Amino acid sequence: MGFNGQGRGAGEHPTNDHPTARPMTTRPTVLITGTSSGLGLETALYLAQRDFEVYATMRDLSRRGTLDREAARRNAHLQVLQLDVTDQASIQAVVTTVIEQSKGIYGLVSNAGINIGGYFEDLSEEEIREVFEVNLFGTMAVTRAVLPYMRAARRGRIVIMSSIGGKIASPGATAYCASKFALEGFGESLAQEVMPFGVCVSLLEPGSAKTELYERNRRLAARALDPQSPYYEWFQQLQGLMDQLARTPATTAEKVAEAAYQALTDQRPRWRYVVGRRPRLLITLRRYLPGELFERIWTRFAKSKIQSSKSKFEL
């Protein structure tokens, strides 16, 4: 048949495609997006230290300083390339470079993502589209560019950075959650499409990690800070709650990198890797609590934490 050779799926049989089992001369190539900070940065370093030939990409090369410093400190070798997931030409250029240099792409870690805080009515259509542009269409574009090479090689791994927000939606993060939910649906469908080619797709679902995306890159909808917004008070409360959560992060970037490594190396990778104890607990509760009990508790919890402050539009 030629199909069903490697990875998960029908008629599977053990193969030697476990990268660590391969001779060091052909280190499997991994392309990672969004590596200037946070989860992407840590994942790039983690993989580079462990037998992968890493192409770490970022939109803005002027922000490569941290990655370079850390790579030097940890004695990790990786290549840094410019890639903007919203720019087709830059994706194509990077993939071409990687193929020329490495003769193939074993793994893609689609990590680039942005967040925008704000209640739905405070988000402009442009702000929502921007989130989708990077998180979803960006992931799709890079995936589309690498898939032909993976199919040709009859093996490959696509690791998509989703989030607990792709499983359980919260108030004040509509655009983010919608885009992460979309990634979940996309990844789950794609996994079934490419499985016969020996290509595996996995979704990573980390909880809040203390990363720069939260610290420095925190982006808020313009109208979310407008005291005239009916949601203003609640959003303020929510921000406070998020700060609190960030001080006790659910997980570390290293744990996420470890999960990415597993997804790339497990003989039968899981469909989903939930990272962190808190998200695992929430997802399990939601799954096994009967009916919509979880939803009711979750909503009430959010309400008590966020909407306890009296809105100026008193209810």
Partner 1 sequence: MPDFLITDSPIPCLPVLITGAGTGIGLETALYLAEHGFQVYASAPDLSQQARVDAAAAERGVSLQVLQLDVTDKQSVQAAVDTIVAEAGGIYGLVNNAGIALRGYFEDLSDEEVRRIFDVNVFGTMAVTRAVLPHMRAARRGRTVIITSVGGRIGSLAVSAYCATKFAQEGFGESLAQEVTPFGVYVSLVEPAIIKTERWGVHRGIAEGALNPESPYYAWFRESERLANRLVETSPTRPMHVARTVHRALTARRPRRRYVVGWRAGLVLTLRRYLLGESFERLYFGQAVRRVTRVQGTTDYGI
Secondary element (H or E) of residue 159: strand 156-161
Q: According to the binding rule CB under 8 A, does residue 193 interact with partner 1?
A: yes
Q: According to the binding rule CB under 8 A, does residue 190 interact with partner 1?
A: yes
Binding mask 115-154 for partner 1 (x = CB under 8 A): ----xxx---x--xx--x---xx--xx-xx--xx--x---
Q: Using CB under 8 A, which of 52, 55, 186, 261 touches partner 1? A: 186
* Complex with partner 1: residue 48 or 260, whichever CB lies closer: 260
Q: According to the binding rule CB under 8 A, does residue 303 interact with partner 1?
A: yes
Q: Using CB under 8 A, which of 35, 174, 208, 265 touches partner 1? A: 174
To the nearest whole angstrom, how small is the minimum distance from the Cβ of residue 277 to partner 1? Answer: 17
Q: According to the binding rule CB under 8 A, does residue 315 interact with partner 1?
A: yes
Would you say 6 and 30 are in contact if contact means Cβ atoms under 8 Å apart?
A: no
* Complex with partner 1: residue 37 or 265, whichever CB lies closer: 265
Secondary element (H or E) of residue 272: strand 272-275
- Can you tell me the distance from the alpha carbon of 32 to that of 13, in angstroms, rounded to the nearest whole number? 28
* Complex with partner 1: residue 34 or 187, whichever CB lies closer: 187
* Complex with partner 1: residue 52 or 231, whichever CB lies closer: 231
Angle (CA) 304 220 296, round 5° = 25
Q: Using CB under 8 A, which of 30, 44, 54, 195 touches partner 1? A: 195
- Can you tell me the distance from the alpha carbon of 34 to that of 123, in angstroms, rounded to the nearest whole number? 24
Contacting partner 1 within 34-73 (CB under 8 A): none
For tokens 């919260």, what's the residue? 170
Letter for the amino acid at 79? Answer: Q
- Can you tell me the distance from the alpha carbon of 235 to that of 117, in angstroms, rounded to the nearest whole number? 9
Q: What are phi and psi of 182, to 5 degrees?
A: -60, -40
Q: Using CB under 8 A, which of 99, 169, 242, 246 touches partner 1? A: 169
Measure CA of the first residue to CA of the last residue in the chain; give whole Å: 65
* Complex with partner 1: residue 73 or 313, whichever CB lies closer: 313
Beta bridge partners of 139: none
* Complex with partner 1: residue 27 or 206, whichever CB lies closer: 206
* Complex with partner 1: residue 54 or 264, whichever CB lies closer: 264
Secondary element (H or E) of residue 260: helix 253-265
Q: Is 176 a catalytic residue?
A: yes
Q: Which among 273, 163, 253, 170 has a CA at the least distance from the CA of 212?
A: 253
Binding mask 246-285 for partner 1 (x = CB under 8 A): ------------------------xxx-------------
Q: What residues contact residue 149 under an 8 Å CB cut-off, 6+ apart? A: 95, 99, 104, 105, 156
Q: Which among 57, 64, 32 has a CA at the least distance from the CA of 46?
A: 32
Q: According to the binding rule CB under 8 A, does residue 240 interact with partner 1?
A: no
Tokens for 77, please give them: 């070798």
Catalytic, out of 176, 231, 232, 261: 176
Angle (CA) 231 236 242, round 5° = 120
To the nearest whole angstrom, how small is the minimum distance from the Cβ of residue 86 to partner 1? Answer: 11
- Surface-to-core class of residue 192, CB atoms within 10 Å of its CB (0-12 exposed, 13-18 middle, 19+ buried): exposed
Q: According to the binding rule CB under 8 A, does residue 100 interact with partner 1?
A: no
> What are the residue numbers of the active site?
176
Contact positions vs partner 1 (CB under 8 A): 1, 3-4, 8-10, 119-121, 125, 128-129, 132, 136-137, 140-141, 143-144, 147-148, 151, 165-166, 168-174, 177-193, 195-196, 230-231, 234, 270-272, 287-288, 292, 295, 298-299, 302-303, 307, 311, 315
